[in-house]
Amino acid sequence: MLVIGFTGENCAGKTVAIDYLTKKSFYPISLSDMIREALKEEDKAVTRENLIQKGNELREKFGPAVLAMRAKEKMGKDKNYVIDSIRNPAEVEELKRLGNFFLVYVTADAKARFERQKRRGREEDATTFEAFKEMEQLEMENAERTKQNLSGTFVLADRKVENNGTFEQYYEQLNGALSAFSKEFKMERPTWDAYFMNIAKQVAARSICVKRKVAALLVREKQIISTGYNGTPRRTRNCGEGGCPRCNNFEEGGKNLEDCYCSHGEENAIVQAAYNGVSTKGCTIYTTFSPCLICAKMIINAGIVEVVFNEKYPLAESARALLDEAGLKVRAYKID
């Protein structure tokens, strides 16, 4: 996830920049929208004055970084984002915690910005250049951390872009900023172990065993060839529907295993491969719990060469000893 933030004076060109990056597949989020939502809840008009006042109120009540925190809640890790309306240094500090956040300060000559504001034609905008400058100065500096502080925000920018020329010149500068950031951008990517173990944990969510949810994956050359989770056999009642008397009686661990109707996750992964005519020879098995003795014997005889487990099964000592004797590689890979 790459996140680009924009700050700058009124009518400097932030909206144009947001639209430009949106066309480049960035998803836009505006911190001002968080304030607009709060105003709408109170049935107040969305004016510049009310936005400033409500923004200050939210920062005072919930902390100076509240708008950035709310914006982060809207983000997913599978998208790139562009953030507008950053007006407080604490918001920058909070967004920097994302790791791949870069701030751009967009500026332009005051008179040029005033002319743009007049063309915009909003009713609440200043009608004279003097009033424009006076309103802007109120936003520029503030000793209170909970108030807008544009000048304190500008100095935290990773790059400054001046928008006094044509759109083409402005876009060229924005492209230059993106190019510079992309060299520093560190793409988050899970390791193969993390990738497969997270999938195994997701597969385990399909289990409705009343005692424990367990799943396993069979992997060959970084390709999943089979999955399995613990549960009762096909065409029988599920464990969570009363299908397994041992599980539903919550028997003590290790006792009366012969009465358990549930197949283990490792067992089902191996059986599913056989059912579909897929060889398990040379595979690695990723399992959310280390295998029991019965599953260990199946793993060895199935030609599996490596076992990677997330958590240790309580009764796994003899299984581990057998796997070691058979020459399999066994290792733990813990994820939450």
Q: Which residues are catalytic?
A: 266
Task: Specify whether the backbone of 63 is left (phi greater than 0), alpha (psi in -120 to 50) or beta.
Answer: left
Question: DSSP of 73-132, one letter per residue?
Answer: HT--TTSEEEEE----HHHHHHHHTTSSEEEEEEE--HHHHHHHHHHHT-TTS-SSHHHH
285: three-class secondary structure by DSSP: strand
- Cα–Cα dist 42/13, whole Å: 30
Please answer whether residues 10 and 30 qualify as being in contact, where contact means their C-beta atoms are separated by less than 8 angstroms. Answer: no
Q: Bin 269: left if φ > 0, else alpha if -120 < ψ < 50, else beta.
A: alpha
Per residue in 61-88, is it b (16+ CB within 10 Å) or e — as a string?
eeebbbbbbbbbeebeeeebbbbbbbbb
Question: In the structure encoding, which two tokens stand for residue 176, read together?
Answer: 């230059």
